[in-house]
Amino acid sequence: MRAQKVLEADLLRQLQAGELIASGFRWPVAPNSGREDVAADLWELLQLRIPTNEVVGNGLRMGQVRIRRAGQPDQVNSAGPEPDLPTPAGKKRPGPHTLMPVIEQELRARAQRSELKNSLSDECRALENWARSKYPEHKRPPKAKSIMNALRQIYAETKPTLDTRV
């Protein structure tokens, strides 16, 4: 336990000194979210939570944190493979990343474009098809019913009301 504390303190010192750079996805994730670097001078206000792979403090929350040496390019922003899908930090879940955060982003983007289907079930089937076509390599894309259970409230909040009563 003491060795872990010493390593964490040294990691934080290197982040504050700018020798290492941490990057992550700012929460809540938005349709245009990308990986962002954490400025070295912010580390005195932030806390690195290694077990949940997140950075928190002063109203900021970032997940899927990666740390690299200063001067090395961020592999995500260079012309390399597509970045990891963001997943909610704190969720103890072995196995593949969930597509639900990017499906939620797509739902919100469709709402902004006024492209939501008339019913939740129709929208969830469309989102299931969208996820399968956008991420064909994903091993277990969620089914429409799972999407419905996870995003029911967001659909209700983003769906424009059709009530014309005055």
The predicted pLDDT at position 122 comes to 95
pTM here is 0.44
The predicted pLDDT at position 126 comes to 95
The predicted pLDDT at position 52 comes to 84
The predicted pLDDT at position 31 comes to 75
Token pair for residue 22? 């941490």
Full pLDDT tens readout for the chain, 166 residues: 788 888 888 888 999 898 999 998 888 877 777 888 888 888 888 888 888 888 998 888 888 889 898 876 665 444 444 445 555 555 554 555 788 888 999 998 998 889 999 999 999 999 999 999 988 888 888 999 999 999 999 898 888 754 444 4
The predicted pLDDT at position 145 comes to 95
The predicted pLDDT at position 123 comes to 94
